[in-house]
Amino acid sequence: MECISVFDMLKIGVGPSSSHTLGPWRAAEQFLAELRSQNIINDVHRVKVDLYGSLSLTGKGHATDLAVMLGLSGADPEYVPIEAIDSIIETIKTNNELLLDNEFKIHFNIVSDIFFNKNFLPFHANGLIFTAYTNDSEYSSTFYSIGGGFVVKEEEDTNTKSEIKCAFPFPIDKATELLEFCHSENKKVSEIVYENEKSMHSEEVIHTEIMRIWNTMLECMYIGAHTEGTLPGGLNVRRRAYDMHTNLIGIANYNSPQEWLQCIRHTEVKFRQILKWVSCFALAVNEVNASLGRVVTAPTNGSAGVIPAVLMYYLVIENHNAGEKEIKQFLMVAGEIGSIFKKGATISAAMGGCQAEIGVSSAMAAAALCELMGGTPDQVLVAAEIAMEHHLGMTCDPIGGLVQVPCIERNTMGAIKAINAAELALETDAKNVLVPLDKVVATMWETAKDMNSKYKETSEGGLAVGVGLADC
């Protein structure tokens, strides 16, 4: 049984895509580690990168080419200064040189050393091959970016997955297993997840990392809400979070994200304003994501706005006394629900369309909010099911291959649906539910397999062809 931590589902990284940016970036890092283990990294004079399938078809718009260069350069997506990214890329382009693992200077031409191959590798839609050349040999390695920043090699996934030994005291593959543990232990979902996390990390580490994730989310919302202008990429998409926030916040004095949060608590909270605030939070995150800013994959970059928007809603609208305890509780539940979808279906739009990203993030947020609002474990799973049920079949058809249209707005819709799903679940007797969560997970995966490849992050169908760059 596979053990997936909350910190696997919620990763800090750079936008715009977890599968097309963060995954290839991490794959490049793994390739560097292989070169070192082979004791050939100091002999390498050239590296070629072949991108396949969805990584090729939408790679330019998703900054896949930039990601592999940054990864090969030894930059860490979690910690690299955002302001340094442009200079690293520009130096490579100008000099046709790359500092391999920030140590070994090699020739690198982005035109001739990064190949966009439209054909698909057999194992997964997001495949890439790195090839390093020395004077007398070459070394190649194939990776697959399977969604949410997860990277595997084909032989690892097919041969060793069944051999993984789970160390969790409460090993969970399915929602029914989670519910059984909640009932038998008389614990909330978040408490079961916390016990599992304690088998891997100290309580201090759990607390520190959870709060680091939240503070990254909060900072991301703050930056997005205070940045105006047009997003990069050529679609000329105007940032909307800034204008929306300006109208909502009114006259307020604050100097930090935390002070900003407190100010929002004192604003008007009629229904329309609540809708606008939730939308503003989600827009802010994904506008930062679209401009190669730092976000938290939740469970992906393209859906990174849903969970912070819903958690922020709880903190500034529903419970002004909420703090670190509730934040940890929310993210624990969200992470576990995300892992159930990853194990039973997919969190990769290249495999399952946008239902695998916005749909999953909405389910994660709905479940987490439901628990904070007093829902039972049964109702928590009902909330997740309702949210996903109404995202089934959603396509991934980004215009121009950019994570902008319709991706940014979809985060607002996913967040609103999550809040509604949580409220519906709280008014539901779980005994009367006709569709359990495990059934909707299985249905999502069957829907993904049936979906035409044009609608799986290839920009070959839907809005991606219905609306051209010339229209924008």
Confidence (pLDDT) at 314: 98
Confirm whether 162 is domain-assigned.
no
Q: Are residues 333 and 197 in the same domain?
A: yes
Confidence (pLDDT) at 1: 72
Confirm whether 170 is domain-assigned.
no
Question: Rounded to whole angstroms, how far apart are CA atoms 119 and 404?
Answer: 25
Question: Rounded to whole angstroms, how far apart are CA atoms 371 and 377?
Answer: 7
Q: Are residues 293 and 354 in the same domain?
A: yes
Q: Are residues 146 and 227 in the same domain?
A: no
Confidence (pLDDT) at 354: 98
> Which of 127, 155, 183 is the endpoint of a domain?
155
Q: Are residues 387 and 299 in the same domain?
A: yes
pTM: 0.95
Confidence (pLDDT) at 468: 63
Q: Are residues 150 and 184 in the same domain?
A: no
Confirm whether 208 is domain-assigned.
yes
Confirm whether 457 is domain-assigned.
yes
Question: Rounded to whole angstroms, how far apart are CA atoms 403 and 233?
Answer: 10
Q: Are residues 151 and 179 in the same domain?
A: no
Question: Rounded to whole angstroms, how far apart are CA atoms 402 and 230?
Answer: 14
Question: Rounded to whole angstroms, how far apart are CA atoms 470 and 472?
Answer: 5
Q: Are residues 117 and 187 in the same domain?
A: no
Confirm whether 4 is domain-assigned.
no
Give the domain CATH number at 132. 3.30.1330.90
Q: Are residues 144 and 281 in the same domain?
A: no
How many domains, the chain?
Answer: 2
Confirm whether 412 is domain-assigned.
yes
| 279: exposed, middle or buried (Cβ count in 10 Å: 0-12, 13-18, 19+) | buried
Confidence (pLDDT) at 339: 98
Give the domain CATH number at 243. 1.10.4100
Q: Are residues 317 and 405 in the same domain?
A: yes
State the residue range of the domain holding 151: 15-155
Question: Rounded to whole angstroms, how far apart are CA atoms 404 and 67?
Answer: 18
> Which of 122, 155, 188 is the endpoint of a domain?
155
Residue 366: HSE in the Cβ half-sphere, 13 Å Cα cutoff: 35
Q: Are residues 199 and 302 in the same domain?
A: yes
Confirm whether 292 is domain-assigned.
yes
Name residues whose C-beta falls within 8 Å of residue 384's C-beta, 6 or more positions apart in sequence. Answer: 175, 337, 363, 364, 366, 367, 421, 437
299: cis peptide before it, omega within 30°?
A: yes
Confidence (pLDDT) at 162: 41
Can you read off the two tokens belonging to residue 295?
């976000």
Q: Are residues 142 and 248 in the same domain?
A: no
278 close to 314: Cβ distance less than 8 angstroms: no
Angle between the N-to-C axes of helices 306-313 and 358-372, in degrees from 0 to 180, rounded to the nearest 10: 20
384 close to 365: Cβ distance less than 8 angstroms: no
Q: Are residues 370 and 301 in the same domain?
A: yes
Confirm whether 201 is domain-assigned.
yes
pLDDT beneath 50, residues of the chain: 158-165
